[in-house]
Homo-oligomer: A and B are copies of this chain.
């Protein structure tokens, strides 16, 4: 079976200048991978016609599919359409059905359908339109000598909408693809090399059809197993078999699989057991609550939190005393334990959690340098606290503190 090879191209000076995060290419990578299309490379280039023309030449020579995002807006700096028309030597023409759809889009929103917006209906004549129901720049599908070029707007939710609604189904129908199966095993609180030595003999016995990768990020390492084959059932079986051998070796460090995040696996655990939770956050400033409420249906387990950033709030709402603050300090086992127990009691939940620390960059001392964080988790009858010594970076400290809360919760109450 032929491997279908793709290049993903993002167009926009803003990407080369580092002014925006390109999340589109990651989403497209994962989406293509999921339908068995192999992404060869990702490329970002500027809003220049010659860069776009050169990119089309290069990528068309090595790819069966090119997915391009960006440069489709109504303004003068958006030149993708013109460049595509020039490359394929076709005119740009008005697509009446796109014009009508756009007119309806603006009317229904009580917005003026101005001249600039009308030009969104002008497209290279050799394209097939991929309808954009979430915005005004249509997607395009161009077939060229058996290869496909898809051009999409750069606004992420418009791009995703077009791909999900029409792009991916059309690709599945057009290409016949092999089976690529991944399994991600997600670990927390253990270093890459320790993990590697722990699973060394397992890794050495992996069959040739399976490859392994380590994906480290702040506070966690993901292991990715990949198998390629022609029979879906067989590929799946090979991977599952290896996972079953691997899990017993690293079980205590695993927090989830595949699309699991720390918060989604905590959410699943809470829901499964009908547990509820509430928080008392100081240094994390609402970030733990935010993570817990990114999950649809979170109201079934998350009742609320007190973000006790100032000591007055810790005293008024969470029963922390002036004496505790004077003798132990706000960043102490005593204070976070009081906070976790108080919020559990006040909101009458299964669990309460608390954080208090020095996120930085200011506020550190010799005794409690930046990165010193105390966390606690409590049930109606028990309370556990833990001291973390993290980094000098505020954002990293906030994130690592939140993940440590989840880990401590699972460890103590699993």
Contact = CB atoms under 8 A, between A and B. Distances in A.
A257 interface: no
The complex is assembled from copies of this chain, and their number is 2
A285 B292 contact: yes
B45 A16 contact: no
A54 to B, nearest CB: 10
Contacts of A39: 16-18
Given A193-B75, A286-B288, A287-B286, A297 B362 contact: yes
B214 A73 contact: yes
Interface string A154-196: 1111000000000000000000000000101000000111101
Interface residues on A, range: 35 or more
Contacts of A218: 155-157
A192 B395 contact: no
Interface in A42-87: 42-47, 51, 73-77
Nearest to A32: B18
A290 B293 contact: no
A302 B184 CA distance: 39
A296 B362 contact: yes
A196 B22 contact: no
Interface of A: 12-23, 25-33, 39-47, 51, 73-77, 111-112, 114, 116-117, 136, 154-157, 182, 184, 191-194, 196-197, 203, 211-218, 222, 224, 226, 279, 281, 284-290, 292-294, 296-299, 302-310, 312-313, 316-317, 346-347, 359-362, 391, 393-396, 398
Which 4 residue pairs across A and B have the least CB separation, nearest first?
Answer: A285-B293, A18-B30, A286-B289, A18-B29
Given A114-B197, A286-B287, 15 more contacts: A17-B39, A18-B31, A19-B30, A19-B224, A20-B217, A41-B51, A75-B196, A76-B212, A111-B191, A117-B193, A157-B396, A297-B362, A299-B310, A304-B313, A305-B306
